Amino acid sequence: MKVAVIGANGQLGADVVRAFTAKGDLVTGLTHQEIELSDAHSVLKTVQELTPALIVNTAAMHHVEKCEGEPERAFAVNAIGARNLALAAREIGAVLIHVSTDYVFDGSKRAAYSEQDAPRPLNVYGNSKLSGEYFVRSTTEKHFVLRTSAIYGKDACRAKGGLNFVELMLKLAKERSGMRVVDSEVVSPTPTVDLARQMVALSRTDAYDLYHATSEGSCSWHEFAREIFALTNTRTNLEVAQPDEFPAKVPRPSYSVLENCALKKKGLNLFRPWQEGLREYIGQRGS
């Protein structure tokens, strides 16, 4: 199968390229230099030239503070960009896998969100991604929209620059005698390799739909850090930060755990508990 991956040099995109390539697919990885999502002409031209059977969009403007400061740009990339891609996919008859986020929810449910729950984003980023979801779902029938959460992988996240949470914690533990991490935000840390594997599995079906796609289980950032230190035998003094110690500049959901209801209902859920994914990531670090 011919597959085009947008955002191919990103944290998730790099693993998506590897996952489809490993299955024998003919993969073209597209970087920002080769395609501009917010430009309908660039999107259509690139897609028409490549004629992939499947397009995977991992690209987004997802730095939450930047999105808040530049709402027009955030919507141009995350909403209109998603529409541009959905129109191009429909034009050539390609399937579209599009990545969305847990930040479409406000967190007030305090229990895992299903695909049936009403979204209510708290910030520009979440609103622009939700708008992108709606454009994809209403524009092209052959879509998989995957909402994910707190991803980390071996390639750096380009938007946030530098280290993922695991690497940041391990670096800080080396530099300091102790640290304080918030327990007021609850997420489902999801390895990018797991999400990429789920995409490959879905791409072999025609179960087009909106899906929650995260690791099983959940934890606060503090619990995540504790598990990282336990698995790496790192000795450090880890404490819970006070709720007002690191005030967020932009509102975020304090609870954004997603339940993979649709995947489970269709017998397609491949995700494992977040601790297992973390253990594998740590085992493979540096290899």
Q: How many residues are recorded in the chain? A: 287
Q: Which of residues 2-31 bind ligand NAP (CB under 6 A)?
A: 7, 9-13, 31
CA contacts within 13 A on the Cβ side of 243: 3
Nearest residue (CB) to ligand NAP, 133 versus 173: 133
Which residue type, as a one-letter code, is found at position 182? V
SS3 per residue for 251-265:
CCCCECCECCHHHHH
Collect all residues with Cβ–Cβ distance below 8 Å to 33 and sequence separation of at least 6.
none
Catalytic site residue from 103, 113, 125, 211:
125
- Which residue number has the CB closest to ligand NAP? 10
Work out the angle at residue 212's Cα, subtended by the Cα atoms of residues 70 and 181, and round it to the nearest 5 degrees.
65
Instruction: Kindly state the smallest distance separating residue 253's Cβ from ligand NAP, in Å.
Output: 11
260 binds ligand NAP (CB under 6 A): no
258 binds ligand NAP (CB under 6 A): no
Nearest residue (CB) to ligand NAP, 236 versus 250: 250
Nearest residue (CB) to ligand NAP, 215 versus 275: 215
DSSP labels, 163-227: --HHHHHHHHHHH-SEEEE--S-EE--EEHHHHHHHHHHHHTS---EEEE---BS-EEHHHHHHH
Q: Which of residues 140-169 bind ligand NAP (CB under 6 A)?
A: 148-151, 157-159
Nearest residue (CB) to ligand NAP, 4 versus 59: 59
Q: State the CB neighbour count (10 A cutoff) for residue 6.
A: 28
184 binds ligand NAP (CB under 6 A): no
Binding mask 100-119 for ligand NAP (x = CB under 6 A): -xx-----------------
Give the one residue of 3, 17, 61, 124 binding ligand NAP; rule: CB under 6 A.
61
82 binds ligand NAP (CB under 6 A): no
CA distances in angstroms from 221 to 116, 158, 185, 238, 249, listed in the order given: 26, 21, 7, 12, 18
193 binds ligand NAP (CB under 6 A): no
- The Cα 209–Cα 178 span in angstroms is 45
Assess whether 103 carries a catalytic annotation.
Answer: no
38 binds ligand NAP (CB under 6 A): yes
Query: Tokens standing for 285?
Result: 């670090």
Instruction: Kindly state the smallest distance separating residue 158's Cβ from ligand NAP, in Å.
Output: 4
Q: What is the CA radius of gyration of the chain?
A: 18
Binding site for ligand NAP (CB under 6 A): 7, 9-13, 31-32, 35-38, 58-62, 77, 81, 99, 101-102, 148-151, 157-159
Give catalytic residue positions: 125
